[in-house]
Amino acid sequence: MLSDRLFLRYQRQVCLSDVSEQGQVSLVNSHVLVIGCGGLGCAATLYLAAAGVGHLVVVDDDLVEESNLQRQVAYRQTDLQHNKAKALMQQLKQLNDSINVRAVERRLADEQLGLEIMLADVVLDCSDNLLTRQQVNRICSQQKTPLISAAAIGWQGQFTVFDYLPESPCYRCLIPFDEITQEGKCSDMGIIGPVVGVLGNYQALAAIQKLATGKFFVEPNQLHLFNGQTMQWQAIKIMRDPECKLCNVSQATTEVAS
């Protein structure tokens, strides 16, 4: 049961029949891991904290720079040259003092990341590089932890939920590379701030769906493409790649275990 204070704070969510007090209690007891505290991570965590997700872990080894403030809206001028994860943690605690937030101020190796994912109910990939995305996808796939992934550049964005159910695809089925030689960066190609906000909000919304109701309302394993110029979405089903080494290994492990 919620305390009177928390019931009052979250009453706009509690009054939704598919959330109710039980769903809000689930949010309060939930644990979410967020990899990356840039534009996506800022937008997503602000709404997760406001919604009452009880345990948030935010991971980033980068420092806040002046050029970040155009889109990474959780930060303030006073956060410049401070670690992003620590600065974001402080902002989230000021937004909601009833939740627990932990900052990890370094990149995580596989063993450490595996432990963090093991504790999480869902993982949000808000990173800005393909190597990290593949690492997060690999460990989420191994542990069958739902992954909510997004990316944005210029006026464009993309969003996907991976559920890792039997026969479901993974991120490597979509992008079978660990690195792209000319991968676009905000510093090279530019980025419209609200585009990142839209995608981060979608990540938060999907996480709240899963944590509060026990299921995703958005269909998993679809690539949702956003065009910030026309404000239109396009959805493309992601097919499992029969040559995907990660999916094949995960399937073989599941069969042996059963």
Query: What is the CATH classification number for the domain harbouring 170?
Result: 3.40.50.720
Output 170 or 253, whichever has higher pLDDT. 170
The answer, yes or no, to whether residue 95 has pLDDT greater than 80, is: yes
Which residues are annotated as catalytic? 186
For residue 149, tell me if it sits in a domain: yes
The answer, yes or no, to whether residue 255 has pLDDT greater than 60, is: no
Rounded distance between C-alpha atoms, residue 204 and residue 30, angstroms: 13
For residue 47, tell me if it sits in a domain: yes
Mean pLDDT of 229-245: 96
Output 63 or 185, whichever has higher pLDDT. 63
Share of residues in the chain with pLDDT > 90 (%): 90
For residue 6, tell me if it sits in a domain: no
* Residues 222/63, Cβ–Cβ less than 8 Å: no
Q: Residue 257: its pLDDT value, please?
A: 45
For residue 186, tell me if it sits in a domain: yes
The answer, yes or no, to whether residue 251 has pLDDT greater than 70, is: no
> What's the structural domain count of the chain?
1
For residue 247, tell me if it sits in a domain: no
For residue 228, tell me if it sits in a domain: yes
Structural domain of 35: 16-237
Instruction: Using CB atoms within 10 Å of the CB of residue 17, give its burial: 0 to 12 exposed, 13 to 18 middle, 19+ buried.
Output: exposed
Which pTM value belongs to this model? 0.93
Rounded distance between C-alpha atoms, residue 62 and residue 67, angstroms: 13
For residue 258, tell me if it sits in a domain: no
pLDDT digits (tens, 9 = 90+) for 106-147: 999 999 999 999 999 999 999 999 999 999 999 999 999 999
Mean pLDDT of the chain: 94
Mean pLDDT of 169-187: 78
* pLDDT classification of 258: cutoffs 50, 70, 90: very low
For residue 254, tell me if it sits in a domain: no
